[in-house]
């Protein structure tokens, strides 16, 4: 699947996140999301247009005068796409960032979004060095 297939439903999805009027937001969600759509994370699963609209209402309360935006292109595999997202303030500054994975339904709308916010954590000290990036940086065991 081409990256452009993801951008088609992501545009009304992001418009829905900017929309403060509930009825208009539901119309935008219907354009962007399959009827059984879900957003996973970070603390719960939001299923269907009504719950996702409530999630967006919470976004407006928690992030006043902010927007949810794309922060990268999309890496695609089959009907799944991986891309960076950001929450930007009214001055354009990035207040939060993360990555999402979206799964498209047969009709081209979004079926599921898994949202991951914040930077990737470091590996624990107990993690074997030969199973991490430092093992790839030269030295006797590097290929």
Domain boundaries, the chain: 4-119
Q: Which CATH architecture has domain 4-119?
A: Roll (3.10)
Measuring CA to CA, which residue among 65, 98, 60, 76 is closest to residue 3? 76
Say how far apart CA 15 and CA 72 lie, in whole Å. Answer: 17
- 42's CB contacts (< 8 A; 6+ apart) are 115, 116, 117
Distance from C-alpha of 41 to C-alpha of 79, rounded to nearest angstrom: 20
User: The pTM is what?
Assistant: 0.86
pLDDT in tens, 106-133: 999 999 999 999 988 888 888 888 888 7
């Amino acid at each position: 699947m081409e990256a452009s297939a993801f951008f088609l439903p992501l545009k009304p999805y992001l418009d829905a996140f900017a929309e403060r009027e509930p009825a208009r937001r539901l119309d935008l969600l219907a354009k962007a999301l399959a009827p059984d759509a879900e957003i996973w994370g970070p603390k719960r699963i939001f299923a269907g247009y009504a719950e996702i609209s409530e999630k967006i209402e919470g976004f407006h309360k928690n992030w006043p005068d902010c927007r949810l935006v794309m922060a990268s292109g999309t890496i695609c595999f089959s009907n799944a796409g991986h891309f960076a997202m950001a929450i930007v303030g009214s001055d354009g500054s990035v207040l939060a960032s993360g990555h999402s994975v979206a799964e498209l339904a047969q009709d081209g709308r979004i079926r599921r979004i898994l949202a991951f916010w914040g930077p990737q954590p470091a590996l624990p000290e107990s993690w074997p060095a030969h199973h991490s990036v430092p093992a790839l940086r030269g030295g006797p065991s590097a290929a």
